[in-house]
């Protein structure tokens, strides 16, 4: 979850760096066709074959996506996700078409729950909702708690649902609660969300309360290692990240972050230095598809619009429903620019160039970034389009397999193994 309200349908012009303007492409294609129709046909055939191959690979290999916000979406408006839904990014037919096998659904707890005493209850209710998906539609969804589960369930035909808590505020200062969530099947925790909490600081919060982890946060890291829970480096501040890298006995995962290289200064994404450290520790960065994570122009546009919105809200003292209505209307009237699926592929390519093929994967943030998704990557049916872009960049079948699931499975297995060792040595 990375925005709070769904923005309106986006109709802005595509915004792709290093691309020829559409007019120039059209002229070029016209010249090519006129000059050499056979050559053009050949190019067309190659593209068609790559597209076919991408579709095949999406179905052949396991695809794990480490961040989908479908529970949050269904809390706003319940829908039958066993059938194709009118709106939304994830449902069974879309996931099947896209070749998705394992969906880590986010048990998102808003930052406002910190210190209220209701955060654990809220998380427990969301977990109950996810379990309900598997109970209500057992032929389509099944819960997954381990690497063994997802491997066993691969090829069965349904979707494995794994759970990650987004915002450790629901631990409510108790390691017993942490164990409780592990017992309920939660396999990763994003330690903070948009604000600092009792565990650590947040990348979105200008106030750095702890300069990294709190004393309790240090204990949380150790206990997560012992229990076998993946520590999620998304949303946390840089200081927190560096401290976790030092402290954690197991590799860590950024479940839905992209590369700061493309958006300098945007702390929610990972810098090159951080990606290198993550890789040295054997971890993985799962690339977020949201345009605000992908393009600096969109990020800047969003920041400018947010500033205008905030100013208006403040000067007109808007609150409650009035504030929500104004925000919705403003966003409808000011659609964000769009990016393209190939821009997401560029982030993956950047990680590969930086640290190699073994440290990157997919963390879409579907149902968590509103209508802020790239052209060609609008919902869970679109993974083949991303694979196609990666094949076009020259990646091999073996590379695709690693990005789709093997890298993440390696980290998850390692987390399980280290937990086992820690528990045996006690
Ligand atoms: Zn998020």
Q: How far is the CA of 2 from the centre of ligand 1 (A)?
A: 4
Residue appearing with tokens 């709106």: 87
Is the four-CA dihedral 312, 317, 323, 329 of positive or negative sign?
negative
Please say whether the beta carbons of 345 and 393 come within 8 A.
yes
Q: How far is the CA of 33 from the centre of ligand 1 (A)?
A: 46
| Residue 182 pLDDT greater than 90, yes or no | yes
Please say whether the beta carbons of 191 and 199 come within 8 A.
yes
Q: How far is the CA of 170 from the centre of ligand 1 (A)?
A: 15
- Residue 15: predicted pLDDT: 34
Q: How far is the CA of 193 from the centre of ligand 1 (A)?
A: 7
Q: How far is the CA of 365 from the centre of ligand 1 (A)?
A: 7
- Residue 4: predicted pLDDT: 40
Q: How far is the CA of 10 from the centre of ligand 1 (A)?
A: 21
Quote the DSSP letter at residue 359. G
CA distance 362 to 20: 28
How large is the average pLDDT for residues 27-40? 59
Give residue-wise pLDDT tens across range 239-256. 999 999 999 999 999 999
CA distance 189 to 175: 13
Q: How far is the CA of 257 from the centre of ligand 1 (A)?
A: 8
Q: How far is the CA of 340 from the centre of ligand 1 (A)?
A: 21
Give residue-wise pLDDT tens across range 208-228. 999 999 999 999 999 999 999
Q: How far is the CA of 152 from the centre of ligand 1 (A)?
A: 29
Q: How far is the CA of 289 from the centre of ligand 1 (A)?
A: 11
Q: How far is the CA of 37 from the centre of ligand 1 (A)?
A: 48
Give residue-wise pLDDT tens across range 41-68. 777 888 999 999 999 999 999 999 999 9
How large is the average pLDDT for residues 196-207? 96
Return the bridge partners of 361, or none: 286
Among 334, 286, 367, 290, which Cα is nearest to 81's? 367
| Residue 17 pLDDT greater than 50, yes or no | no
| Residue 18 pLDDT greater than 60, yes or no | no
CA distance 236 to 206: 12
Q: How far is the CA of 424 from the centre of ligand 1 (A)?
A: 34
Give residue-wise pLDDT tens across range 168-178. 999 999 999 99
Q: How far is the CA of 394 from the centre of ligand 1 (A)?
A: 30
Q: Are strands 186-190 and 253-254 parallel, antiparallel or unpaired?
A: unpaired
How large is the average pLDDT for residues 96-107? 98
Give residue-wise pLDDT tens across range 343-399. 999 999 999 999 999 999 999 999 999 888 999 999 999 999 999 999 999 999 999
Exposed, middle or buried by CB within 10 Å (0-12, 13-18, 19+), for 201?
buried
Please say whether the beta carbons of 250 and 415 come within 8 A.
yes
Give residue-wise pLDDT tens across range 272-322. 999 999 999 999 999 999 999 999 999 999 889 999 999 999 999 998 889
Written as one string, the DSSP assignment of 375-396 is: BT-SSTT-HHHHHHHHHHTT--
Q: How far is the CA of 349 from the centre of ligand 1 (A)?
A: 22
Q: Mean pLDDT of all residues in the chain?
A: 91
CA distance 133 to 154: 18
């Amino acid at each position: 979850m990375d925005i709070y309200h769904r923005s309106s349908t986006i109709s802005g012009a595509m915004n792709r760096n290093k691309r020829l303007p559409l007019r120039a492409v059209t002229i070029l294609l016209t010249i090519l066709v006129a000059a050499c129709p056979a050559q053009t046909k050949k190019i067309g055939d190659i593209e068609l074959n790559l597209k076919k191959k991408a579709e095949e690979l999406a179905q052949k290999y396991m695809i794990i996506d480490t961040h989908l916000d479908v529970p949050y979406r269904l809390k706003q408006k319940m829908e039958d996700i066993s059938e194709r839904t009118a709106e939304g990014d994830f449902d069974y037919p879309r996931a099947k078409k896209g070749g998705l096998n394992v969906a880590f659904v986010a048990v998102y707890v808003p930052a406002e729950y910190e210190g209220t005493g209701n955060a654990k209850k809220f998380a427990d209710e969301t977990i109950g909702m996810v379990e309900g998906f598997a109970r209500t539609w057992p032929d389509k969804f099944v819960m997954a708690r381990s690497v063994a589960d997802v491997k066993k369930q691969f090829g069965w035909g349904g979707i494995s649902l794994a759970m990650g808590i987004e915002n450790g505020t629901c631990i409510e200062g108790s390691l017993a609660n942490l164990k409780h969530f592990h017992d309920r099947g939660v396999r990763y925790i994003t330690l903070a969300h948009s604000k600092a909490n009792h565990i650590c600081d947040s990348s979105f919060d200008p106030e750095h309360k702890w300069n990294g982890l709190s004393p309790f946060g240090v204990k949380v890291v150790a206990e997560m290692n012992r229990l076998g829970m993946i520590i999620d480096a998304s949303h946390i501040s840089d200081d927190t990240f560096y401290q976790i890298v030092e402290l954690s006995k197991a590799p860590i995962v950024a479940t839905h972050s992209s590369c700061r290289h493309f958006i300098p200064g945007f702390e929610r994404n990972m810098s090159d230095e951080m990606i290198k450290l993550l890789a040295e520790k054997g971890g993985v960065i799962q690339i977020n598809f949201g345009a605000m994570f992908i393009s600096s122009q969109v990020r800047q546009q969003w920041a400018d619009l947010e500033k205008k919105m905030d100013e208006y809200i403040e000067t007109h003292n808007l609150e409650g429903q009035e504030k929500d209505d104004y925000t919705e209307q403003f966003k409808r009237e000011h659609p964000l620019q769009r990016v393209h699926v190939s821009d997401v592929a560029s982030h993956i390519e950047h990680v590969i160039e930086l640290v190699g093929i073994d440290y990157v994967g997919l963390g879409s943030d579907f149902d968590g970034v509103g209508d802020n998704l790239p052209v060609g990557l609008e919902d869970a049916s679109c993974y083949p389009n991303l694979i196609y872009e990666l094949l076009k960049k020259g990646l091999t079948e073996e590379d695709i397999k690693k990005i789709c699931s093997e890298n993440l499975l390696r980290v998850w297995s390692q987390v399980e193994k280290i937990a086992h060792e820690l528990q045996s040595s006690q």
